[in-house]
A = this chain, B = another copy of it.
């Protein structure tokens, strides 16, 4: 069957629910998220949600997957449209800070919030989050590795360490921007990476001032 109006409607509802769930989870947590609250915000009934996910945990896992999709769409995809190397690394970081600064999610970052929430709570949700985090780290290290292979970063560079440092600048950005001065925070997050890459990159033109 090519198109089924029933499952189409269901899919539309499902993604709408999950988008709301991702946003709500950054406010009250993925565990603190209650079905009644979510149903209220969407104008549907609590039992309507149960028709799609048979348990709260199933909904939580689906929410994590949706957040991953959003992240890839919003942060990863734009960076992949930039040439490999330090410019792509820089674009990825900038897209991330832009995402935080645009206040797309009320709580800043779905993954930062939920990973701290679940870091001492064993179970399927934690495992799914850890897996997503691992893939993100691998991706970041791959981008650094590519810049090394292109000769845009020194050959002897500690690749995982630089990846760690880049991610740290990002994590700190979302944490501080919600509790302290946001503008100073974003400036530090951006300037921190720029300084770091410029110090390492032999070609200063790649990270020139007014560059797209």
Where the two chains meet, the residues of A that have a C-beta atom closer than 8 Å to any C-beta of B are: 26-29, 31-32, 106-108, 112-113, 115-117, 119-121, 126, 129-130, 133-134, 137, 158, 160-161, 164-165, 167-169, 171-172, 175-176, 178-180, 184-185, 188-189, 191-192, 195
Contacts and interface: CB of A to CB of B under 8 A. Distances in A.
A134 B180 contact: yes
What 10 A-B pairs come out closest when comparing CB atoms?
Answer: A168-B172, A119-B178, A107-B120, A168-B168, A164-B188, A116-B116, A27-B120, A130-B179, A106-B120, A113-B116
B112 A116 contact: yes
| Identical chains in the assembly | 2
A163 to B, nearest CB: 9
Contacts of A171: 168, 171-172, 175
Given A119-B179, A167-B172, 7 more contacts: A27-B121, A29-B29, A107-B119, A112-B175, A115-B179, A119-B178, A133-B179
Contacts of A189: 164
